[in-house]
A and B are shown apart, each in its own frame.
Chain A
Amino acid sequence: MDWLEDELKNALSRKEPGEGFDERVLAAARRRNVVAMPRRWMAAAAAVIVLAGAGEAYRWHRGQEAKEQVMLAMRITGHKLNLVQARIAGERQ
């Protein structure tokens, strides 16, 4: 190792962070832990809301389907009744 490399070692000797650095890191780690907890709860709550919403949507969808089936049945029934009435009227004449 020559003189320049010796000088480089001196010039680049390790430097320490400002006073209280350890405490700041620990405080940041604690803050993250505190923040991380509600996030987990928020995720769980979001999952519950999504599931509840999906159930509601599914029930509404099933309700709509049933309603359409009733309407279709009534339309078919009405059509058939018309046909029966028309046939009766034709026989009377």
Chain B
Amino acid sequence: MVFSVAYHFLHDRDLAEEIAQDVFLSLHRNLGAVESPAHAAHWLRKVAVQRSIDAARRRTRRPQVALDDVAEPSERPSPGDPLLGDLLRKLIATLPESQRMAMVLRYQEDLDPSEIADVMGIPLGTVKSHIQRSLALLREKLARRGVGER
């Protein structure tokens, strides 16, 4: 969960592993404050989100991927196609950081919007708006690439 949040958010395996290690060492230092396994999971998710956002802000050597820079696939991917998964990950990487993290928590961690709001420390309305906007944008970009509804 910790590595995966950082990996899908940053698209950098080494950096994600570094963050995951840091998060677990942080948990190790704060074990006394952990009350239950559920609390530990919540704590890990929250710290992973924060460290990933911090790392993305610090990361200047690798510029963010612009939406227009995502290459058109050579073939039109269809639903269920691994190419579509790849294209979706690339399109998600182009979203602004707050929207991107909300999408990762929604579709990787399967959290509902109120849980996402809690983990990210932002209002529920903002989370809902982030998800709706991101989905609309992805639909539009996919439609432009010829990927439509089933």
Residues of A within 8 A of B (CB): 2-18, 21, 24-25, 28-29, 32
Contact = CB atoms under 8 A, between A and B. Distances in A.
Given A21-B17, A25-B21, A25-B24, A12 B89 contact: yes
Interface centre among A6, A8, A16 (most CB of B within 10 A): A8
Contact of B108 (A12, A21, A25, A32): A12
A29 B28 contact: yes
B150 interface: yes
B92 A4 contact: no
User: Interface SS of chain A: helix, strand, loop or mixed?
Assistant: helix
Contacts of A25: 20-21, 24-25
B8 A32 contact: no
Contacts of B85: 7, 10-11
A14 B16 contact: no
Interface residues of B, number: 33
A29 B25 CA distance: 6
B100 to A, nearest CB: 11
Contact of B3 (A5, A11, A15, A29): A15
A18 B13 contact: yes
B53 interface: no
Contact of A17 (B8, B16, B139, B149): B16
Interface in B14-40: 16-17, 20-21, 24-25, 28
A2 B17 CA distance: 32
Contacts of B150: 3
A3 B3 CA distance: 26
Contact of A12 (B8, B79, B149): B8
Given A4-B139, A11-B85, A18 B79 contact: no
Contacts of A11: 84-86, 88-89, 92, 107
B149 to A, nearest CB: 6
Contacts of A7: 79-80, 84-85, 88
A6 B86 CA distance: 14
20 contacts: A3-B150, A5-B107, A7-B80, A8-B88, A8-B106, A8-B138, A11-B84, A12-B89, A12-B107, A12-B108, A14-B1, A15-B4, A15-B8, A16-B3, A17-B16, A17-B20, A18-B17, A25-B21, A25-B24, A29-B25
